[in-house]
Structure 1
Amino acid sequence: MNGRWPSGVYTPETDCNEAANDSLALDRDPANGFEPRRVGKEDDRSGANVRLAPITASPALDEPLPPPVIVQSGNGAYLSTLAPGGGMTMKSRTVSFTSFNLFNLNEPNLPMYTNSVGHEPAHVSRKVAWSAAMIARAKADVFGFQELWHKGPLERILAQSGMGTDYTLLVPDNQLGQRITCAAAVRTEMVQGTPEWITEFPESFRLESRGDDPQTPLMTVGISKFSRPVLKFTVRPHEERPAIHVLVCHFKSKAPTRIDREPWYRGQSALYRDHAAAIGSAISTVRRTAEALAVRQMVTDLTKRSDTPVVVLGDLNDGQDSNTLEILTEQPNYLQPLSTGGSDTALYSGQALQQLRSLRDVYYTYIHKRVHGSLDHILVSQELYDQSRKRIWKFDGLDIYNDHLNDDGLKLAEGVSDHGVVRAKFSLRGV
C-alpha cells in the first residue's frame, strides 16, 4: 500500500444543521460499504443526512479504506477523512512541526468578514502557488494551519507542493467558506486515531471570583466557546514511543472587537463612542485570555500524572512574555546546562529553546505598525524538552520563514501570508 488517497473512492454529503451534542459515526458493512450509526447521546431524532457512494476498487489499495468519522460540536458536524495508512507503524528518528497562518484562504468571490466580494480568482491562484512553495520548503512532518475558510484551495496547495501523495489532510469536510477554522496536513504514516475540532471550553472552565480581599468586587466572565475551533489530533512518529497529542490553535486577535453593533452601545453611543477602541481591545484581551485558560486546562488533562507528549502550535496572537502565553505555558523554569528537571504539565516555548542556543534573538512572525512581534508559537511538553528527566525527543532547532513580511506589497503581488511560518525539529533520544 503506497498511502495515496485515491479520488472517487466515496463521496460523503453531510447536513450539518442537526442539533449539537449528537455524534455520528459510520459503520463498515462488507456488502454495502458504509452505513451511519449514532454514538454518544441517544434520543429519538434521526441522524444527520449522510449519503455515501459505494466503494469502488482502486489499484492503489490493498485493503479497504478506514471509515470517516463525524465529530459533532457546537458549530455542527465535521467529517474527517483519513488517508489509507493512517496509524501504520513507523520508526522515524525525527519529527518536525510547522505553524502556518494561511491569511484568510478562501475560494474566489466568497464573502469574508466585511468583505462582501472576497478574493479575486488571480489572487487565490497566487496564494495557492506561494503557499505550496512554502510547504515544500518547510517540508515538516506535521503542518498546523490557521485562517482556513474553504478546503478547496488547501487541497490544491498540498497537490501543487508535490507532497500530496505522502500527506493526509485534516480538514472539516463541510469547510466551504462559511466559517474560519484550523486544519492540518500530516505525514500519512504518522497519523493515528481520529481528529476533533473542539469548540466548547472544558467543563472545568470557570472565571468567577469575589477577589482576595473584602474591597475587591465580584468578577464574572461569561464565555464558553473558542472563537476558532481547536483542532486536536494524534501522531505517532515511532511505534516504540508514545503518541504525540497535537493541538492547533488560533486565539482571538489583538484587534479591537467591534462594539458599535451592540444594543447597549446603540442605546448610549455618545457615552461610549470616544472609548470604543479601548473597550474593544479589552474585550479581545479577555476573550484571548479565556481561550488560553481553556487550552491550558485541556493540556493539563492530558499531561497531569502522565508521560503524554503534547505539542500546542498556532497563531496565539500574543508574545512569548504575554499573560496569554504565561497562562498557557505555566511559566516553566528553563534549566542551565547539565541540569535536569522538567514539569509535569508545563509547556516549553520553541522560541525560548532556540534563544537559549543562539547568540541573539531575531524571532518575529508578524509586523504591525513597524513593530516586529512573535504571535505564532510552537509549545512542547517536557517529553520534548532537552533537560527534562522524562525527555523522549531532543530539540534540534527552530526556523522562521519571515522574509516576506518586510515587503507589504507582496501580499497582493504574490499572495504571501501576513505571518511568518514557524518550524520546530526534534530527534529521538536513545534509539
Structure 2
Amino acid sequence: MPDCKWRWMPLPLHAGPHPVTQFRFGAMTTLRMASFNLFNYAVPGIFWHEREGGLTYEEDQWDSKRRWIAETLAVIDADIVAFQEVVSVEDLRSLVVQAGYPHFASVTEPRFLKNDADVFVNSTVAIASRHRIASAQEIKTFDRIIDQTLLDRAATYSRRPLRCVIDCPDLGPTVVYSAHFKSQGALFNDEIVDVIEDWDTRIDTFFVERMFAGIDQVSKRAAEAGALYLQVREDLKADTEAPVVILGDLNEGPRSHTLSILTQADPIFAVGSTLWTDVPDAHRFRRYTHRLYDAYALPPHAELERPVTYHANKRASILDYAIVSNGLNPANPRHRGAVVRHEVFDAHFDLDQPRRLTSDHAPVIVTIEPRKDEPAQP
C-alpha cells in the first residue's frame, strides 16, 4: 500500500479553539456524534489476549493513554461518543463523567479466559452522552439471519452491539448504536498445525486452515451487517424518517460487500421481474427509506481522497463509520436532521505516537443539524 498523505489535520491539542467549536456555537444548533475505538482499554494488570509482559499497561503508560483520550474528547467536542474495545468499563465511565458526559451505557460484559480472569479475549462497546439516555439494550441474536442463510445455528455477534435511545435537543428521541464487527485476520487453533512434524505437510495444512478461517471471519461480518440492518428496519417500522445512527468499527472498507449489505446502497434495476422504471410513482420513495447512508457521502468534501481511520502494522485503511437513516439524509425532503459535516481526527497518526498510548484507530465525527422548518409532506 502506498504511503498515506493525511488530508485533514486538526489543530494540536494544546492549541486555541478548534474550528469545530467555532462552528458549533455559531448561529446553528448542531449535534455531534463520534465513533472512537480506544485500542485495548484495559487497566494495568489486565492482559490483551495472552499473558505476556508487553500485553498490559504500565501505570505511567495508562496515565498517558487516559490523558490522551480525555484531551481528544475535548478537541472533537462530540455530544455523543460510541466507544469500541472497552474492557475496563467502570474506569471508562469515570473518565467520561470527568470529561463532561454524565450519561453512560455499557450493558455487555467483556469476556476473559476461563482459566485466567486477568486475560481478556473479547472487549465490549459503550456509549457516553451529554444528553439523557432514555434506554439501553444489547442486541443479541441472528435469528432471522440464521433462518434464511447457511449460517450455523450457533452463530451470533462477535461483539454485541449496544442500542441506546437518546433524547437529543431539537432532534428528539434518536436511536444510536455502538457496533464493532468481527475483526479482520484469519485466526485458527494453532494446535492443528503444531502437531504436524513434516514441515511441507505443516505448511500445506496451515494455508488450508487459514483459508477456512478466512471464510468464517468474512461470513461473520456479513451476517453481523445483515442482522444490524434488520434491527434498524425495526426502528423505522413506525416512523420511516426517525433519526438512527450507527457508530462503529465495522472492520471493512467502504466498497466492501459487508458495507453494501448494511446500507443496501447497490443500484436497483428491478424489483423481482419488474423493472424499476415500471414501479408505480407512488411507491418509488421506498428505495430511499429502506437504505442506510454512509455519512461521509452526504455533505460536500474538499479532500480528493477519503482519510483513513486505521493505521497500524504498516497498514492503513478505512474501518470506522457513521451510518445514518434516511431521516438524516439532507437530500430527503422530509428529513428530521441533516448531516452537514464528516471529519476524521487523525493527528496522532501524523505524529507517529505509540498506538498503545493513543489508538490505532482515528475517531470519526459527524455533525448533524436538526431541521428548523416543517418537513415536506409525502
Q: Fold conserved (TM > 0.5)?
A: yes
TM-score (norm 1): 0.66
Deviation, structure 1 residue 221: 4.0
TM-score (norm 2): 0.75
Aligned residue among 246, 269, 294 for 1:349: 294
Deviation, structure 1 residue 99: 0.2
Deviation, structure 1 residue 155: 2.9
- The one-letter amino acid paired with 1:422 is V
Aligned residue among 240, 245, 259 for 1:325: 259
Deviation, structure 1 residue 175: 6.1
- The one-letter amino acid paired with 1:303 is L
Map 1:6-45 → 2, pairs under 5 A: none
Aligned residue among 164, 177, 181 for 1:233: 164
Aligned residue among 341, 347, 350 for 1:403: 347
1:273 has 2:193 as partner? no
Aligned residue among 73, 80, 83 for 1:135: 73
1:205 has 2:149 as partner? no
Distance, in Å, in 1 between the alignment partners of 2:194 and 2:224 is: 25
Segment drifting more, 400-409 vs 135-144: 400-409
Q: Which residue of 1 aligns with 2:177?
A: 247
Evaluate the alpha carbon distance shift between residue 402 and residue 243 of structure 1 in structure 2; reply closer, same or farther with a 3 A threshold.
same
Q: Which residue of 1 aligns with 2:123?
A: 180
1:145 has 2:145 as partner? no
Distance, in Å, in 1 between the alignment partners of 2:109 and 2:314 is: 38
Evaluate the alpha carbon distance shift between residue 244 and residue 389 of structure 1 in structure 2; reply closer, same or farther with a 3 A threshold.
same
- Classify the secondary structure of the residue corresponding to 1:154: helix
- Whether contact under 8 Å (1:148, 1:181) holds in the other structure is yes
Aligned residue among 256, 274, 289 for 2:222: 289
- Whether contact under 8 Å (1:98, 1:143) holds in the other structure is yes
- Whether contact under 8 Å (2:107, 2:137) holds in the other structure is no
Distance, in Å, in 2 between the alignment partners of 1:155 and 1:426 is: 25
**Identical-residue share of aligned pairs (%):** 24
Q: Any unmatched runs of 5+ in structure 2?
A: 1-27, 112-117, 268-283, 374-378
Distance, in Å, in 2 between the alignment partners of 1:182 and 1:272 is: 35
Higher share of residues assigned strand:
1
Distance, in Å, in 1 between the alignment partners of 2:295 and 2:349 is: 20
- Classify the secondary structure of the residue corresponding to 1:416: coil
Q: Which residue of 1 aligns with 2:64?
A: 126
- Whether contact under 8 Å (2:84, 2:126) holds in the other structure is yes
- Classify the secondary structure of the residue corresponding to 1:430: coil
- The one-letter amino acid paired with 2:208 is H
- Classify the secondary structure of the residue corresponding to 1:372: strand
Distance, in Å, in 2 between the alignment partners of 1:223 and 1:267 is: 30
Deviation, structure 1 residue 395: 1.6
- The one-letter amino acid paired with 1:365 is T
Q: Which residue of 1 aligns with 2:21?
A: none
- Whether contact under 8 Å (2:133, 2:167) holds in the other structure is yes
Segment drifting more, 367-376 vs 226-235: 367-376
- Whether contact under 8 Å (1:288, 1:324) holds in the other structure is yes
Evaluate the alpha carbon distance shift between residue 242 and residue 236 of structure 1 in structure 2; reply closer, same or farther with a 3 A threshold.
same
- Whether contact under 8 Å (1:259, 1:280) holds in the other structure is no
Distance, in Å, in 1 between the alignment partners of 2:297 and 2:147 is: 29
Aligned residue among 369, 372, 376 for 1:427: 369
Map 1:359-374 → 2, pairs under 5 A: 359-368=303-312, 370-374=314-318
Deviations for 1:208-266, whole angstroms, at most 9, x for unmatched residues? 56xxxxxxxxx554443111111001112136x5411111100011111223356x996
1:311 has 2:311 as partner? no
Evaluate the alpha carbon distance shift between residue 119 and residue 368 of structure 1 in structure 2; reply closer, same or farther with a 3 A threshold.
closer
Deviation, structure 1 residue 367: 2.3
Evaluate the alpha carbon distance shift between residue 175 and residue 204 of structure 1 in structure 2; reply closer, same or farther with a 3 A threshold.
closer
Aligned residue among 80, 94, 101 for 2:37: 101
- The one-letter amino acid paired with 2:62 is V
Deviation, structure 1 residue 418: 0.6
Evaluate the alpha carbon distance shift between residue 223 and residue 346 of structure 1 in structure 2; reply closer, same or farther with a 3 A threshold.
farther
Distance, in Å, in 2 between the alignment partners of 1:288 and 1:115 is: 28
Aligned residue among 158, 170, 175 for 2:105: 170
Distance, in Å, in 1 between the alignment partners of 2:211 and 2:205 is: 10
Greater relative contact order (CA < 8 Å, ≥ 6 in sequence): 2
- Whether contact under 8 Å (2:78, 2:365) holds in the other structure is yes
Evaluate the alpha carbon distance shift between residue 121 and residue 272 of structure 1 in structure 2; reply closer, same or farther with a 3 A threshold.
same
Distance, in Å, in 2 between the alignment partners of 1:322 and 1:348 is: 14
Deviation, structure 1 residue 160: 4.7
Aligned residue among 386, 392, 395 for 2:330: 386
- Whether contact under 8 Å (2:309, 2:363) holds in the other structure is yes
- Whether contact under 8 Å (2:309, 2:318) holds in the other structure is yes
Deviation, structure 1 residue 408: 4.4
- Whether contact under 8 Å (2:182, 2:220) holds in the other structure is yes
Q: Any unmatched runs of 5+ in structure 1?
A: 1-91, 210-218, 334-339
- Whether contact under 8 Å (1:199, 1:228) holds in the other structure is no
- Classify the secondary structure of the residue corresponding to 1:199: coil
Distance, in Å, in 2 between the alignment partners of 1:370 and 1:158 is: 31
Aligned residue-pair number: 315
Deviation, structure 1 residue 283: 1.9
